[in-house]
Amino acid sequence: MQTGTFALLVKDHELVKGIIEELLDTPASARTRRRDLLNTLKQELQAHENLEERLVYPELESRKSTHGLTLEAYQEHHVVDLLLQELDSLDFQDEDWKAKLTVLQETLLHHVREEEDELFPKAEKVLSKDQLRHIEQQIGQAKGA
């Protein structure tokens, strides 16, 4: 588990991955459980994306070494949002539902890997200690940590 500025965001990543795993393991007949898990997933992802797009990405978009990764991250959030909308509109028993959820999982795993392995480490190099501390405090306040 990562410590420091982005630890709470990494914790979110772990939570979301767990929710998706649980969704994938839930049978199509468990409609109420799938609905509840999907709603939880949507809430968690929306809150997480909001934090990143409000507190982290703007600082990194203006830096040459993180500009491209940041633009890609915004687009990955957009793709995740589209997939969530599509999942929400499909019947849980439709065979495409689980396939679409798997694509969402793959998209999120790619996004998380890029953030944790590339974007966050680069952020810690290009941002000042004060900027990093400020971001960490804002994330903590937003999450009530």
- pLDDT of 3-38, one tens digit each? 589 999 999 999 999 999 999 999 989 999 999 999
Q: Which residues contact 87 (CB under 8 A, 6 or more apart)?
A: 38, 97, 100, 101, 104
Name the class of domain 7-143.
Answer: mainly alpha
Please name the helix (run of DSSP H) or strand (run of DSSP E) that holds residue 65, with its range, or none: helix 64-89
Residue-level pLDDT at 1: 43
How many helices (H) and strands (E) the chain has is answered by: 7, 0
Q: Which residues contact 70 (CB under 8 A, 6 or more apart)?
A: 57, 60, 61, 119
Residue-level pLDDT at 3: 54
Global confidence as pTM: 0.92
DSSP assignment of 87-107: HHHS-TTSHHHHHHHHHHHHH
Q: How far apart are CA 13 and CA 111, in angstroms?
A: 10
Locate the domains of the chain by residue range.
7-143
SS3 2: coil
- Read off the tokens for 28: 């199509």
The tokens 């929306």 sit on which residue?
46
If you count them, how many residues does the chain have?
145
Per-residue pLDDT of the chain (145 residues; tens, 9 = 90+): 455 899 999 999 999 999 999 999 999 899 999 999 999 999 999 999 999 999 999 999 999 999 999 999 999 999 999 999 999 999 998 889 999 999 999 999 999 999 999 999 999 999 999 999 999 999 999 988 6
The tokens 């979110």 sit on which residue?
12
